[in-house]
Structure 1
Amino acid sequence: MKKRDKNHIKTLRTSLITLIVFTLLCCKNEPKQQLKETLTGTKLQLKYASGFSCKNYGSYKVLQITKSWPNASKTYKYIIISKENAAKTSFLKDEYDGIILTPIEKLVATSTTHIPALELLNVENSLVGFPQTNFISSEKIRHRIDEGFVKDIGKNESINTEILLELNPNLIISFGIEGGNKTIEAIKKTGIPVIYNGDWAENSPLAKAEWIKFFGVLFNKVAKADSIFNTIETNYIEAKNIAAKAETKPTILSGAMHSDIWYLPNGTSTEAQLLKDANVNYLWANTTGSGSLKLNFEAVFNKAQQADIWLNPSNYTSLQNLENGSLHHTKFKAFQNKSIYTVANTTGATGGVLYYELGFTRPDWVLKDIIKICHPELLTNYTPHFLKKLP
């Protein structure tokens, strides 16, 4: 190579290095813009869910969780922003409970109710950790667990922080409980963002299902989440209208006894709402409360001895199990007629109950299951997804 060419290359290299250094110095010295919320943000449209809200300000979003558990008094507030925009923005961190950087490539979820939304939005590959993975029924996620892509991180009450830190997730989706979770509070101090999902605290089936939009916000898939929910809502309303045509309303018993206490849904629960929309006569439809009803055997027997159908006798999986649990169970007409149906026998490969994973997201399927059992003439070609007759 000629000496002139070498000098030319050397000059170009020096100029390039100078340009890079100058650019870096300019970026470094460029003042960050203070994040300010305004009234111009676009509000996420929600029809049923009341536990969360979101405003989109273009370069960032503000997500608020107002009901992370029933009667929660604290509102959690999160900023969702791209890594690029975050580098140019300063935050008053005391105003927010977390800064969530997108795209979210590694996620830890803590409830099986989170799994269906990830699949429906085609972001299930982001899941890298979950407590007690045996509870997961999804075939896609089970395959990823078997391949080692999703790690078991222990139990919700005592998450293995060592495994969690090795996974180094972008975000943990937890669920709020009154009194807090000491493990989750400790994880927050490591700098990993934790966000609460309060789907379970909503008071109607469609409100719980609408939390798919919460995941749509996190993964920048709001339009897709909205489309999926609209389909679920349409199916649910169509099923409800079909049920309204039923000429009879069978009487319904639910729950079962444990340690001399019979637990069953109160009349304001989502379970009771499903029974109402299925056009059946739930015998405790007029009760109220924030949790399960707790009654003695006599109170239940006096009202439901002649009930036509018994739905979801707790976690009992056979008539024999139900009899072994208490001989009192055998005294009901529904037991004697073997008219008992449960979700407990529809499970994944490792025993996880599918209803507890998918039921929140697909209330249309749950409603159709009940209609099929209680009004079989109305859905002649439908096969239930969750409910099966107790063997």
Structure 2
Amino acid sequence: MILKKTLYIFLPILILFSSCKEDKGIKRDLPPLDKSSINLKYAKGFSVTDNRDYKILTIETPWPEAKKNYKYLIASKEQLSKMTFPRDAYDGVITNDITKLVVTSTTHIPALELLGVEQTLIGFPETDYISSEKTRKRINEGKVRELGKNEGINTEVLLELNPDVVIGFGVDGVNKTFETIKKAGVPVIYNGDWVESSALAKAEWIKFFGVLFNQEQKADSIFKNIEKDYLKAKSIAKQAKTQPTVLSGAMHKDVWYLPNGSSPEAQFLNDANVNYLWSDTSGNGSLALSFEAVLDKAKDADIWLNPSYYSSLEQLKKASSLYTNFEAFKTNNVFSFTNAKGETGGVLYYELGTARPDLVLKDLIKICHPELLDGYTPYFFKKLK
């Protein structure tokens, strides 16, 4: 999501497929669509219908309040050469034998690695944000090209790479760079995992990549293991005898931003069996409160999580001496994921946290209920020093 600084980026895309040469056989129309579909337990942002010879992938929520669905036809080159269909009925046509791929968010990297198809990645914007040791090795070997910034991808380099497909993300559906890529005949497809309303729903988007790489069963198996691990951790958290009070976020220009009670972040805290002080709120986006309102409610909070991008107590104090009023600051109970980074500075949480919510939940349980999960060492979160 990357999510550079909490912002997840993913943009819309229509896909142009170059005409396939006819073989000696007679072309046939697409057969009636069988309603067999991939089972999605949590994710709401995409759906897949499988008709054996081809699949229809529908992206239903590429970004918040999207006005339309985006449909993509996926089939082998051989099948496509035998089919006739109205191309304007789809936003893109993609072959299921992808060998060259460009993705635009670090949250996409773990899915590729979990499915064992990371070798198809040939380009990425702002590669320094990638933390994975496996993919960093490929970057250092020159196998993954730098594509500039996400806001303005170097289309010249991208088109030179000639990927089979580009996986983008968008916040509003307006992206001139993607339009240029599409006009050049390179398919672009949206990934809307960041829009999902729960951690397991976001993680289930590994099935999106499973469809693209014709590895649905493997993707389903991987997700089931992640779900099982998450639910087991949630069950363990219920054994806690106390619920520590939790504060989150920090100020930006005198406004304190923190998760609302219906957000995925707050759901993590609920599943970790803690008392998140704003759990009774709801809505879209973060809560924006005054310092006084936060201090009044959370002055004596036991634990403070994710104080923005600050990586030490000293940085917090220098940013504002007001932070020292909180009991969690005084008792050194401030935790953040900002200090778990890759070799070039990418924050690991922004890359792997979406794909592995089980690890995130176990981190929070270990922090908030240290008597549980004996022997577990937090993967993302570290105490600020």
Shift of 1:297: 0.5
The 3-state SS of whatever aligns with 1:42 is coil
Is there any run of 5+ residues in structure 1 with no aligned partner, and where?
1-25
Partner of 1:16: none
Tell me, in whole angstroms, the C-alpha distance in 2 between the residues paired with 1:149 and 1:293: 42
Partner of 1:208: 202
Shift of 1:41: 3.7
Tell me, in whole angstroms, the C-alpha distance in 2 between the residues paired with 1:28 and 1:359: 46
Tell me, in whole angstroms, the C-alpha distance in 2 between the residues paired with 1:283 and 1:184: 41
Aligned match for 1:32, one of 19, 27, 32:
27
Partner of 1:43: 37
Partner of 2:181: 187
The 3-state SS of whatever aligns with 1:54 is strand
1:33-76 deviation per Cα after TM superposition (whole angstroms, max 9, x unaligned): 222442x2420001000100001111111000001112222100
The 3-state SS of whatever aligns with 1:276 is helix
1:153-181 deviation per Cα after TM superposition (whole angstroms, max 9, x unaligned): 11111010100010000000011211422
Q: Flag the structure with higher helix content.
A: 1
Partner of 1:387: 381
Partner of 1:172: 166
Query: What is the identity, as a one-letter code, of the residue corresponding to 2:208?
Result: F
Tell me, in whole angstroms, the C-alpha distance in 2 between the residues paired with 1:80 and 1:340: 47
Is there any run of 5+ residues in structure 2 with no aligned partner, and where?
1-20
Query: What is the identity, as a one-letter code, of the residue corresponding to 1:298?
Result: E
Query: What is the identity, as a one-letter code, of the residue corresponding to 2:58?
Result: Q
Partner of 2:325: 331
Tell me, in whole angstroms, the C-alpha distance in 2 between the residues paired with 1:378 and 1:84: 54
Superposition CA RMSD, Å: 1.2
Aligned match for 1:123, one of 112, 117, 123:
117
Superposition map of 1:240-251 within 5 A: 240-251=234-245
Tell me, in whole angstroms, the C-alpha distance in 1 between the residues paired with 2:31 and 2:152: 37
The answer to whether 1:319 aligns with 2:303 is no
Relative distance call for 1:36 and 1:304 in structure 2 (3 A) is: same
Tell me, in whole angstroms, the C-alpha distance in 2 between the residues paired with 1:173 and 1:224: 20
Aligned match for 1:160, one of 141, 154, 157:
154
Which 4+ residue blocks in structure 1 deviate beyond 4 angstroms? 26-30
Deviating more after overlay: 179-188 vs 328-337: 179-188
Superposition map of 1:265-276 within 5 A: 265-276=259-270
Aligned match for 1:303, one of 297, 302, 322:
297
Shift of 1:225: 0.5
Tell me, in whole angstroms, the C-alpha distance in 1 between the residues paired with 2:228 and 2:175: 37
Superposition map of 1:69-84 within 5 A: 69-84=63-78
Tell me, in whole angstroms, the C-alpha distance in 2 between the residues paired with 1:345 and 1:74: 39
1:104-136 deviation per Cα after TM superposition (whole angstroms, max 9, x unaligned): 000000000000000000000000000000000
Partner of 1:344: 338
Shift of 1:370: 0.3
Deviating more after overlay: 309-318 vs 27-36: 27-36
Deviating more after overlay: 90-99 vs 272-281: 90-99
Partner of 2:191: 197
Tell me, in whole angstroms, the C-alpha distance in 2 between the residues paired with 1:96 and 1:83: 17
Partner of 1:19: none
Query: What is the identity, as a one-letter code, of the residue corresponding to 1:375?
Result: H
1:236-270 deviation per Cα after TM superposition (whole angstroms, max 9, x unaligned): 11100110111100000000111111111111110
Tell me, in whole angstroms, the C-alpha distance in 2 between the residues paired with 1:163 and 1:50: 34
Deviating more after overlay: 108-117 vs 187-196: 187-196
Partner of 2:98: 104
The answer to whether 1:140 aligns with 2:137 is no
Shift of 1:27: 5.9
The 3-state SS of whatever aligns with 2:246 is strand
> TM-score by structure 2 length?
0.93
Shift of 1:330: 1.1
Aligned match for 2:274, one of 273, 280, 288:
280
What number of residue pairs does the alignment pair up? 365
Q: State which structure, 1 or 2, has the greater radius of gyration over its C-alpha atoms.
A: 1
> TM-score by structure 1 length?
0.91
Query: What is the identity, as a one-letter code, of the residue corresponding to 2:364?
Result: I
Shift of 1:329: 1.0
Tell me, in whole angstroms, the C-alpha distance in 1 between the residues paired with 2:141 and 2:23: 42
Query: What is the identity, as a one-letter code, of the residue corresponding to 2:332?
Result: K
Tell me, in whole angstroms, the C-alpha distance in 2 between the residues paired with 1:98 and 1:255: 40
Tell me, in whole angstroms, the C-alpha distance in 2 between the residues paired with 1:168 and 1:360: 28
Give the share of equivalent positions with the same residue, in percent: 61
Tell me, in whole angstroms, the C-alpha distance in 2 between the residues paired with 1:74 and 1:324: 46
Relative distance call for 1:117 and 1:179 in structure 2 (3 A) is: closer
Partner of 2:5: none
Tell me, in whole angstroms, the C-alpha distance in 2 between the residues paired with 1:113 and 1:70: 18
Deviating more after overlay: 286-295 vs 174-183: 174-183
